[in-house]
Structure 1
Amino acid sequence: MKLALNNDCPHCTTIFRWYREFQKSNFTLEDAEREGRARTSVTEENIPAVRKMLDEDWRGTYQQIEEPSCSSNSFDSA
């Protein structure tokens, strides 16, 4: 698989998880819905916002990027 897909190859852990789910007759590759807030969220809206934040100040921390107010496109010093 690594030879065919190079860097686009899923991690071994992902493949093992898929195999385990297929054994249980679960043929979807999507994660199941979970309660609570998502740990991370990638949307078409926040990709450009984060990219702009990093263009303005590439020294921003993960915590600053993860803040819900990332649409403000600024890194406030903590």
Structure 2
Amino acid sequence: MHVYRLVALFSFGEGWHNNHHAFEYSARHGLEWWQIDFGWYAIRFLEALGLATNVKLPTKDHKRKKAFTCHKFK
């Protein structure tokens, strides 16, 4: 098991906090399906109950552009 997955389990998704800095508007820190994010699961539950609205996520295009700009200068 990759160490980030283990950190995500114990920190309720905070292991993906760097994603929050890349996409500060995103309600989800774990941006991939395999990234465990309990905060996101809670938001989805609240959204299903109608208690959370206007939940925002980055699009695939936004993630692709961010990945390109981050690796461009390395």
Asked if TM exceeds 0.5, the reply is: no
Q: Which has the greater radius of gyration? A: 1
Q: Which has the higher contact order (CA 8 A, sep 6+)?
A: 2
TM-score by length of 1: 0.31
TM-score by length of 2: 0.32
